[in-house]
């Protein structure tokens, strides 16, 4: 009887994950997360872009104003114990640990967060980083493994200054895209001129 219950729970979890994956908008995924209390805790103003739910969501706490970009992965356990046990080095058990994301944190595209990590508050994790240890408050980290590469306030202040020169509106508005290309070309023209001066 216990086996049937386990199979039923597994099928229900697979169906839930498939449904979540097919939700078209990050706003609809956020509503799903809140309605079903997916995580151990979830604060206000969550932005959740990934289409996949973590395998152990109850080991994850998200505080207020957390922005999670596409393809971010939360890893709360490993299966190294299988290797050790098969080598006769056991008995070893599965390692399971928690992850906590504090207030005002941005996790960039394809970030991987490993077990036992606390990030922030006021922290930015650059795209593609692998977070193997705590991220100090007020920092920007990047790399594999992630290391401090800047200050949170510097990035936020720069973003504010840059956004003042961008027209507000739909990001797919052709005028905004033209303006972005103009800024891109100006920036690269300046960089090219600086290189020629150095030579």
β-bridge partners, 176: none
User: Distance between CA 32 and CA 19 in Å, rounded?
Assistant: 10
User: Is the model's pLDDT at 149 over the cut of 90?
Assistant: yes
36, 77, 95, 188: which one is catalytic? 77
Residue range 77-135, pLDDT digits in tens: 988 889 989 998 878 888 899 999 999 999 999 999 999 999 999 999 999 999 999 99
The residue extents of the domains of the chain are: 25-161, 165-199
- What would be the CATH architecture of the domain defined by 25-161? 3 Solenoid (2.160)
Which of 114, 12, 103 minimizes the C-alpha distance to 66? Answer: 103
Q: Which of 23-32, 58-67, 119-128, 142-151 has the lowest mean pLDDT?
A: 23-32
Give the DSSP H or E segment for 32: helix 26-35
User: Is the model's pLDDT at 190 over the cut of 90?
Assistant: no
Which of 138, 143, 142, 145 minimizes the C-alpha distance to 123? Answer: 138
pLDDT for 167 equals 55
**Residue 155 confidence class, pLDDT cut points 50, 70, 90:** very high
**Residue 188 confidence class, pLDDT cut points 50, 70, 90:** confident
In terms of Cβ atoms closer than 10 Å to its own Cβ (0-12, 13-18, 19+), residue 174 is exposed
Q: Is 77 a catalytic residue?
A: yes
CB 117 within 8 A of CB 134: yes
Look up tokens 């509503």; give the residue.
Answer: 31
CB 76 within 8 A of CB 54: yes
């Amino acid at each position: 009887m216990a086996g049937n219950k386990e199979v039923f729970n597994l099928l229900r979890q697979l169906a839930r994950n498939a449904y979540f994956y097919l939700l078209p908008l990050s706003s609809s995924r956020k509503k799903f997360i809140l309605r079903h209390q997916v995580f151990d805790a979830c604060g206000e103003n969550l932005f959740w872009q990934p289409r996949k739910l973590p395998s152990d969501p109850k080991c994850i706490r998200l505080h207020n104003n957390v922005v999670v970009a596409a393809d971010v992965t939360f890893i709360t356990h490993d299966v190294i114990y299988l290797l050790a046990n098969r080598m006769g080095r056991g008995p070893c058990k599965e390692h399971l640990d928690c992850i906590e994301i504090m207030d005002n944190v941005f996790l960039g595209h394809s970030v991987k967060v490993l077990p036992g990590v606390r990030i922030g508050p006021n922290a930015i994790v650059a795209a593609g980083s692998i977070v193997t240890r705590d991220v100090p408050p007020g920092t920007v980290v990047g790399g594999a493994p992630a290391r401090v590469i800047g200050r949170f306030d510097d990035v936020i202040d720069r973003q504010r200054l840059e956004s003042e020169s961008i027209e507000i509106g739909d990001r797919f508005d052709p005028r905004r895209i033209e303006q972005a290309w103009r800024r891109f070309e100006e920036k690269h023209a300046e960089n090219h001129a600086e290189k020629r001066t150095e030579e």
